[in-house]
Amino acid sequence: MAEVRTRFAPSPTGFLHLGGARTALFNWALARKEKGKFILRIEDTDVARSTEEAVEVILDSLKWLGLYWDEGPYFQSKRLEIYRQYALLLQEKGLAYECFCTPEELEERRQKTMAQGENWRYDRKCWNLKEEEKEKLRQEGRKSVLRFYIPPGETTFIDMLRGEVHFQNEELDDFVIMKSDGMPTYNFACVVDDALMKISHVIRGDDHISNTPRQVLLYQALGFPLPQFAHIPMILGKDKTRLSKRHGSPSVTYYRDQGYLPEALFNYLARLSWASGEEEKEIFSREEIVERFSIENVTKHAAVFDLDKLNWMNSVYIRQADNKYLCSILEEILVRKGRIKPEEITSAHREYWEKVIDLMKERIKYLAQLEEEASYFFTEEVEFDPPAFEQVLGGEEVEEILKDCEEMLSQIEDFRAPILEEAVREMAEKRGVKAAKFIHPLRVAVSGKKVGPGLFELLEVLGKEKVIKRIQRAKNLIKEPRFPQNSGGE
C-alpha cells in the first residue's frame, strides 16, 4: 500500500475551533496508526482576513494538543506561481475561461432568475467570448476571473463513511478558480496542493461534502489521481445547533487558558463521533487512541458537545496528574489573571501552590476554578461573600470566638491539620460547646466563604502567619457598621 499521507489545512482567520481540532486529531491519528505522514498546510489566500497572529494561535493550539506535524507548515500564499501554472494549463486545454461579469451584473441576473422561480447558476455569458471581445472589455478597465467549465453528466466519488456519493453536474455552476486579484479559490488551491503533496486521505468536516464533486472534476481535468475522501460529522451543541459560545467556548485556546489538560481535551475530542468498540470505556491514552483508530469506526451522525462530560473527564485527568505538572499550568493562569508577575515567582510560591493543588484537586474540574472559586489562596486580603459574612460573622459572641481562636492558634508551633483540629475540638470541649461554634466563624474569617475544603487542611496550607492576619482583619471588620467593601487583589 502507498504511504498514508493526511493533512490539516486551516485558514488563519481566528482561533482553532474544536471542530477543526478534532479534524486535525483524526488526520493525525490515522497517519500515526498507518506509520504515515501528517502534513500541515495554512490556507492563507484570503488576504483580508488572514493574520500572522491567527497562524501562531493555530500552531500553538496544535502543539498544545500534541498534534505535531511531519511536514510543513506550507503556506498557500507562497505557492501562487504554482496555482497560476495549473490554471493556465486548464485554460489551454479549454477547461477554464475568463469571465468579465461584474458582481453587480451577476447579482442582477441572479435576482431576475430567482424571481422567475428558477435556481440560479452562472449562465456562461463569458463562455466562448472572442479574443477581440475580451480585449475590448480589458480596455474598458474590466477585470476578469477564471472559471472552470463543468462538463455535462454526473460526478461520483466514494466517501469512506457514506459509500458512493452522486452529484448531477447540472446542479453545479462554472465556479471561479482564480480571482481577479490573482489569488486561487479554495477548491482550486486545495486540489493542486493535495495532489502535489500526495495526500492519500482527505478527512474533513461534512460541511465540505458539496465542494467534493467540484474538486473531483478538477482532479480529473488535471490528470491527478483521486485521494480517499471521508467527511466527518459536525460538532453540535446540546440544542443540536452549530457549536458556538453559548454552548461553552468553541476555542481550543479558551480551554487551555482555563486550565484544562491537553490530554483530557485530546481524549474528549477523539471520542466525539468515534466509536472505539469499548463503549463502557471513556478514558483512553494517546497510544490507545492511535492503536484503535479507524475511519470506519467514525459515525455519520453529528456529535454533541457536552461541557459536563468534558469537565468530568478533565477532573479525572487532574486527579491522576502530578502536582508539579498541575502547578506549572496554575502558574500560567495566575500570571495571565494578574495575580502575580512572572519575575516575582519564587520556589516558595511554587511549593505553596503545590500544597493548594494537593488539597483542592479532588474538588475541581479545571485549574482556573482555583482562582475563580478559591481566590482566598492567592490574595492577601479575603474577599468576603456578603451572606457568609452577615450570617456567620454577624452573630453574637463571634468577635470573642475569633479572639479565642487567634490566641489558641498563635501558641501552636506545629501548624499541621491533625494538631490544629485537636486544638480546636479541645477548646470547644472546655467551653462546653460543639466544635462547629468555632469551625464556621474560623472558616469564613480565613476564606470569606461558608464552604470549601476541610478547614484544618485549609489552615495548614494557608500557614500560621496568614491565618492569624485574617482572623485579626475579620475581628476588626465585625466592628464596622456594615459589611465591608472588598478591596480584592494582592
pLDDT value of residue 487:
45
Burial (CB < 10 A; 0-12, 13-18, 19+), residue 343, is exposed
Into which CATH architecture does domain 5-78+235-307 fall?
3-Layer(aba) Sandwich (3.40)
Burial (CB < 10 A; 0-12, 13-18, 19+), residue 304, is middle
pLDDT value of residue 482:
56
pLDDT value of residue 488:
44
Q: Where are the beta strands (DSSP E) in 206-360?
A: 228-232, 235-236, 303-304
DSSP state of 225: P
Place of cell 479554495: 186
Peptide bond just before 441 cis, omega within 30 deg: no
Q: What fold characterizes domain 386-478?
A: Arc Repressor Mutant, subunit A (1.10.10)
pLDDT value of residue 484:
53
Annotated catalytic residue: which of 245, 300, 324, 434?
245
Three-class secondary structure of residue 23 per DSSP = helix
Burial (CB < 10 A; 0-12, 13-18, 19+), residue 344, is exposed
pLDDT value of residue 420:
97
Confirm if 175 and 217 have CB atoms less than 8 A apart.
Answer: no
Per residue of the chain (490 residues), give pLDDT as tens.
Answer: 589 999 999 999 999 999 999 999 999 999 999 999 999 999 999 988 999 999 999 999 999 999 999 999 999 999 999 999 999 999 999 999 999 999 999 999 999 999 999 889 999 999 999 999 999 999 999 999 999 999 999 999 999 999 999 999 999 999 999 999 999 999 999 999 999 999 999 999 999 999 999 999 999 999 999 999 999 999 998 888 887 767 767 899 999 999 999 999 999 999 998 987 777 789 999 999 999 999 999 998 899 999 999 999 999 999 999 999 999 999 999 999 999 999 999 999 999 999 999 999 999 999 999 999 999 999 999 999 999 999 999 878 899 999 999 999 999 999 999 999 999 999 999 999 999 999 999 999 999 999 999 999 999 999 999 999 999 999 999 887 555 544 444 4
The single-letter code of the amino acid at 141 is G
Return d(Cα 203, Cα 272) in angstroms, integer.
15
Confirm if 303 and 273 have CB atoms less than 8 A apart.
Answer: yes
C-alpha cell at 260: 484544562
Cα torsion through 78, 80, 83, 87, rounded to 10: 180
C-alpha cell at 118: 428558477
C-alpha cell at 273: 463521533
Q: Are strands 37-42 and 71-75 parallel, antiparallel or unpaired?
A: parallel
Q: What is the pTM for the complete model shown?
A: 0.91
Q: Where are the domains of the chain?
A: 5-78+235-307, 80-232, 321-373, 386-478
Fold agreement (80-232, 321-373):
no
Q: Does domain 321-373 have CATH number 1.10.8?
A: yes
Catalytic site residue 37? no
Query: Which of these CATH numbers, 3.40.50.620, 3.20.20.70, 3.40.50.720, 3.40.640.10, describes 80-232?
Result: 3.40.50.620
pLDDT value of residue 481:
58
- Count how many Cα atoms sit within 13 Å of the Cα of residue 207 in the half-sphere of its side chain: 8
